[in-house]
């Protein structure tokens, strides 16, 4: 079968537009020539994530699906494709000289979502972020030809902070799926137990635990924002926009008195417009 790049990238762009996210994955700010590459990366990450989360499958079935997806990744890197989308992902990796290991890291994280539901300490949480979020930031930098360990470290701070912000935002959703990403040793430190989650009990101890995590995440954003000094053009605005979106979520958690069990913080159209305007002004 002959595979077509135009068809595959069009499918990836359509896929991206039709999937919900907190922040726009591809905005009008970015140069058109990069949008198709971001879309195919997003297609890969979202599809793999859905294998771990969506549908009514038992853990063993999910692991098999992720392993099969990993096999497809190994094959397309070698030049063997079974779809237009796989052909496009291979093309993007080769054309933009992307580090293929980052795609395998993502699969590692999604597989971990199936097998691991509790995290003993914050280092374990950060190790999850190392595989689930940081590879995406590094791939985007490579896509725009920003390379170097200093930039990677700054990007990792932002991406880990975004991942943890999402954990805080989706605390109840994740708990209902059987997962808790807040570390167990901090549960003990603040006198929190899982019964409080079951009862949606926003007591003082739980508030203090969430506040501690919010402020630590804000510090990570602050450290990572140094990356913006090295970026230019649309990518700088896009990253700034994304960071401000994460910070806005943290602010909503603060205003909700750190109650993440009874009110999920989210961005409305006003928030998104406001964040975009601030990103453009501070360019």
Sign of CA dihedral 275, 277, 278, 283: positive
Domain boundaries, the chain: 1-115, 117-283
Q: Picking from 19-33, 80-94, 195-209, 237-251, which range would have the lowest pLDDT averaged per residue?
A: 19-33
pLDDT digits (tens, 9 = 90+) for 21-45: 544 444 556 777 888 999 999 999 9
Q: What are the C-alpha distances in Å from 130 to residues 64, 145, 260?
A: 23, 21, 24
Question: What's the CA gap between 195 and 192, in Å, rounded?
Answer: 8
Give Cα separations from 104 to 48, 61, 94, 130, 135 (angstroms): 10, 19, 16, 12, 9
Question: What does the DSSP 8-state code read for residue 214?
Answer: H
Spell out the residues 6+ positions from residue 97 whose beta carbon is closer than 8 angstroms to its own: 142
Fold (CATH) for 1-115: Farnesyl Diphosphate Synthase (1.10.600)
Q: Can you give the pLDDT at residue 33?
A: 84
Minimum mean pLDDT range among 22-31, 63-72, 105-114, 210-219:
22-31
Q: In this structure, which CATH number among 3.40.50.300, 2.40.37.10, 1.10.600.10, 3.40.50.2000 belongs to the domain 117-283? A: 1.10.600.10
The pTM score is: 0.90
* Three-state secondary structure call for residue 20: coil
Question: Any alpha helices (H) in 201-256, and if so which ranges?
Answer: 204-224, 233-255
């Amino acid at each position: 079968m002959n595979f077509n790049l135009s068809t595959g990238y069009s499918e990836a762009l359509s896929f991206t537009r039709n999937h919900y996210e907190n922040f726009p994955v591809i905005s009008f700010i970015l140069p058109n020539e990069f949008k198709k590459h971001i879309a195919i990366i997003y297609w890969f990450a979202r599809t793999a994530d859905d294998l771990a989360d969506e549908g009514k499958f038992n853990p063993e079935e999910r692991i098999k699906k992720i392993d099969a997806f990993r096999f497809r990744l190994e094959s397309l890197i070698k030049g063997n494709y079974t779809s237009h989308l796989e052909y496009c992902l291979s093309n993007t990796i080769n054309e933009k000289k992307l580090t293929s290991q980052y795609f395998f890291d993502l699969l590692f994280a999604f597989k971990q979502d199936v097998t691991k539901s509790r995290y003993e300490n914050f280092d374990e949480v950060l190790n999850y972020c190392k595989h689930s979020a940081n590879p995406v930031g590094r791939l985007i930098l490579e896509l725009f030809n920003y390379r170097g360990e200093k930039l990677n470290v700054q990007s990792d701070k932002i991406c880990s902070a975004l991942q943890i912000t999402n954990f805080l935002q989706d605390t109840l959703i994740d708990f209902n799926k059987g997962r808790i990403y807040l570390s167990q040793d901090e549960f003990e430190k603040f006198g929190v137990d899982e019964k409080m989650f079951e009862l949606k009990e926003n007591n003082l101890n739980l508030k203090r635990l969430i506040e501690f995590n919010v402020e630590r995440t804000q510090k990570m954003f602050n450290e990572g924002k140094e990356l913006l000094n090295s970026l230019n053009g649309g990518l700088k605005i896009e990253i700034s926009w994304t960071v401000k979106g994460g910070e806005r979520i943290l602010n909503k958690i603060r205003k909700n008195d750190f109650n993440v069990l009874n009110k999920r913080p989210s961005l409305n159209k006003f928030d998104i417009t406001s964040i975009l305007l601030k990103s453009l002004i501070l360019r």
